[in-house]
Amino acid sequence: MKHKKNIVATRVWLSRVTIVALLAGAIAGCNNGTSDKPDVVVVSPTTPASAPPAPAATSTAAVTPNATATTTSTTTAVSPTTAASPGTTTTTTTVIREPITDVVVISSAPEPQSLVGKRVQFTATNVLSVIGDRPFWVGRSNNERLVVVLDPALDKGNAESKVVIKGGQTLDLTGVLRPMPSAQTAQSQWGLTAAEAQGLQTQAVYLQADKINFRS
Domains of the chain, by residue range, sit at 1-29, 103-214
Largest CA distance in the chain: 207
Q: Return the closest-CA partner of residue 173 out of 94, 90, 71, 100.
A: 100
In order of 82, 126, 202, the CA distances from 199 in angstroms are: 33, 20, 7
Supply the pTM of this predicted model. 0.57
What is the full DSSP assignment across 75-99? -----TTSPPPTT----------SS
Would you state the pLDDT for residue 141?
94
Determine the CATH number of domain 103-214: 2.40.50.140
Would you state the pLDDT for residue 162?
62
What distance in Å separates the CA atoms of residue 35 and residue 182, rounded to the nearest whole number?
Answer: 136
Q: If the chain, 216 residues long, is cut into consecutive pieces of 10 residues, what is the mean pLDDT of each piece?
A: 56 64 61 48 48 50 40 41 59 78 95 96 96 93 95 67 85 97 95 95 96 88
Helix (H) or strand (E) holding 136: strand 135-139
Would you state the pLDDT for residue 128?
97
Cα angle for residues 50, 56, 58 (degrees, 5° grid): 165
